[in-house]
Amino acid sequence: MGTVAVSEMEELQGKLRGSVVLPGEPAYDQARTIWNAMIDKRPAMIVRCAGAADVRTAVDFAREHGIPLAVRGGGHNIAGSALVNDGLVIDLSGMRSVQVAPHRMRAWVEGGALLRDVDHEAQAYGLATPLGINSTTGVGGLTLGGGFGWLTRRHGLAIDNLVAADIVTASGERLHIDSDNHPDLFWAIRGGGGNFGVVTTFEFALHQVGPLVTAGLIVFPFAQARSLLRNYRDYVEALDENISVWAVLRGAPPLPFLPESVHGTGIVALAFFSPQPPEQVQAALDTVRSFGNPLGEHVGAVPYSAWQQAFDPLLVPPARNYWKSHNFNTLSDAAIDVVVDYAGKLPSAQSEIFLGLLGGAANTHAPDEMAYPHRAALYAMNVHTRWEEAAQDAACLAWAREFFKAAAPHAAGTVYINFLNEDEVDRIAEAYGPNYARLRQIKAKYDPDNLFRTNQNIRPDA
C-alpha cells in the first residue's frame, strides 16, 4: 500500500463529518469485527462515514494514496469482503436512514441499513420490498448481489424492485443512476456486487404486505427426508407464486412446539410463507403437512417483521462460518439422495443444508435484463457450515467441500454471488454466466484501475 503520513491522516479526519478509527485505538477491534468469526483482518484505517460526502472523501483518499479499499455495509458477507488487510475500510454502518413515501410506494435506504431497518419503517405503513431472511443482513450487499427472500416468488428479487441508486464511483463522482441515467451502470449494480462503486442510497419500489402474513414451520423426522423431499419437489415445481416453501435439514433447535426428546435430533423443517391470510392458504398447508408425518408445527398469522427475524437466533455472531452453494433448475432424485446422505452426517450441531425456493416472479425476467442472470434457477441450495472452535475447522470445511463436489453433477452449474466464499475466485465467471463479458466492459469504463477489488471481483476488460 502507499505510505500515509500522520499529517495526511489528520487532514483526512478534518474533511470528514464521521471519524477515522486506527489500530491501537479503543474502538478499533470492535470496528473490524464482522459476522463471520473466521475473518480476522486488520485494516490500516476504518473510515466511519456519516454521509455521501464522507464516502467520496474516503474513495478519493484511497485512490490518491494507492491504498487497498474495502466497503462495509452490514458486515454479513460470508467471504469477509467488508474488510481488507493494511487498507482503508469505508464503513457505512452509521448510514442507516430509511425514508418511506407511502403515497408513492417508495423507500430510500442508505447504504449501511440493515433489513430490519427497512422492515421497521415500511411496515409502519403495511409495506415491504423483497429482501433476505435474516434481519441483521445489510441491505447494500444483499441487493448488489441480487437479493432473495420470502417475498421473491410474489414480487421478485431485491434488484427487480430497485428503481434508482446514488453511487460514488472510483473517480469520486457522485452519480444518480436509473434506467435513464447511466443505464449501463444501473444494469451492472443489479447483481454485479460491489465492483462498480459505493452505493450510498437505494430507491426501492414497495408493495402492500402485512402487517400479518401466514408463516411458520412444519417439522418432520429426518428418517422421512428422502420421500419428503421428493414430495416437496413435485409440489413446488407448479406452486402458486403467493406461496413459498423452503426446506431445511439440520439438528432440531429447542423449539417450544417440539417434544424435548426431538431436540438435537435430525429433522427436515419446511418453512411455509404466504402474504395471504391463513384461511386463503389452508389447502396448501394441508398439502405440505401430507408430505410425511410431522413431529410438530407452528404456522399461522404472524407479523411480517417478526417472521423476518424468526431465524436470527440461529445466526448470531460470533461463530465460524463456511458456505458452499449450488443453484438447481430442478431437483432430481439423485440430487435429493446426495442432500440426504450428507445431511445425515452434519459436522456440527449448528450446520444445516437449506433449499431456498426461487421461481415465480423472480423467473419472469430475461437473463440479460440485469447483471444477475439466474432466471431459470428454482432452488438456491446453500450449505451453512457453522461451528464455534477453530479445532473443528478441518472437519467442517472437509464436509462442506465434499458435499459440494458430490452435488455438482446434479446442479445447474451456476451460483448466487452472495454465497461465494473467499476461496472461490474460480467460480466468479460461473456466477455471472453470459453477462460476465459485458460486466467486464462496464467495469473498465467506471473502474479501469480496479479500485473496487476487495469483493468477488470482476476484472476490467483489457
Q: What is the chain's mean pLDDT, rounded?
A: 97
- Summarised one tens digit per residue, pLDDT across range 102-140 is 999 999 999 999 999 999 999 999 999 999 999 999 999
User: CA 198 → CA 58, 174, 232, 250, distances in Å?
Assistant: 11, 9, 40, 37
Question: Taking residues 292-320, what's their average pLDDT?
Answer: 96
User: What dihedral do alpha carbons 390, 392, 394, 397 form, nearest 10°?
Assistant: -100
Q: What percent of the chain has pLDDT over 90?
A: 98
Residue 168 identity: V
- C-alpha cell recorded at residue 402: 465434499
- Summarised one tens digit per residue, pLDDT across range 6-39 is 899 999 999 999 999 999 999 999 999 999 999 9
Question: pLDDT band at residue 427, thresholds of 50, 70 and 90?
Answer: very high
The residues pairing with 328 across neighbouring beta strands, listed in sequence order, are 379
- C-alpha cell recorded at residue 160: 427487480
- C-alpha cell recorded at residue 223: 428418517
Cβ atoms 440, 458 nearer than 8 A = yes
User: CA 93 → CA 76, 114, 174, 201, distances in Å?
Assistant: 12, 9, 19, 13
Residue 201 identity: T
pLDDT at 2: 58
**Ordered domains of the chain (ranges, CATH):** 6-91 (3.30.43.10), 98-209 (3.30.465.10), 212-419 (3.40.462.20)
Taking every pair of Cα atoms in the chain, the longest distance, rounded to a whole number of angstroms, is 70
- Summarised one tens digit per residue, pLDDT across range 197-209 is 999 999 999 999 9
Question: pLDDT band at residue 1, thresholds of 50, 70 and 90?
Answer: very low
Answer yes or no: is pLDDT of 292 > 50.
yes
User: Look-up: residue for cell 446514488?
Assistant: 166
Residue 219 identity: V
Which residues does 398 contact at the CB level (< 8 Å), separation at least 6? 347
Closest by CA position to 259, among listed 271, 249, 267: 267
What is the value of pTM for the model shown? Answer: 0.97
Neighbours of 204 (CB within 10 A): 28
